[in-house]
Amino acid sequence: MVSMTKREKIIVSIMAATVLLGGYLYWGPVTTVGQQGVEKKSDSQALAFAQKVIQKLKADTSLTKDLFTIRSAERQWEKDPFLPTDTLLSDTQQREVPDNATVSAGTQLNLVYSGFLEAGTQRLAIINGMAYASGEAIDSNGHFLRRIQPHQVEIGKRNAPDVIILKMTDYETISGK
């Protein structure tokens, strides 16, 4: 049999004392010390209190401002609040890729676009088995997912006009195109 170290014995004894104390307090004798002055209120008093609270909340105008702020944040944003320009958010998402955008010489990416998910307005692309949304970094070399379409994705590189277009594997076979 393996003997316990001094530290283990202390921990086990504290645990046992805690369990014993908890059992005593739970099943032990009930005392009424400190319970004087607690009076039972009727249902009508509780209802009157609830109605007073509701009236005060309705009279408080700061809650109206908070509700307006919350509802404004939930709506679709017209402008991206994090961009310093006045460009509309729809313009940044629908931007066309210039025809002269090319892949840099020597750029070799080992990426496979194998899936597409769309839930409401959110689009995700499955690249190399990982799900990415528009704007997310794909690797540590500065490549990011620029645009997601069901049949292809556009990959960009930070601070470069180059665009790489990845077609979905087996898309032509499935769609007949």
What is the CATH T-level fold of the domain 97-175, as seen in this structure? Answer: SH3 type barrels. (2.30.30)
Summarize pLDDT for 39-96 with one digit per residue, the tens. Answer: 556 778 888 888 998 888 777 766 677 777 777 777 766 666 666 665 554 445 444 4
User: Which residue ranges make up each domain of the chain?
Assistant: 97-175
Summarize pLDDT for 3-31 with one digit per residue, the tens. Answer: 889 999 999 999 999 999 999 888 877 76
- CB 156, CB 144: distance < 8 Å: yes
Compute CA distances 43 → 40, 49, 126, whole Å. 10, 10, 58
Q: Is 129 exposed, middle or buried (0-12, 13-18, 19+ CB in 10 A)?
A: exposed
Per-residue pLDDT for 105 more than 50? no
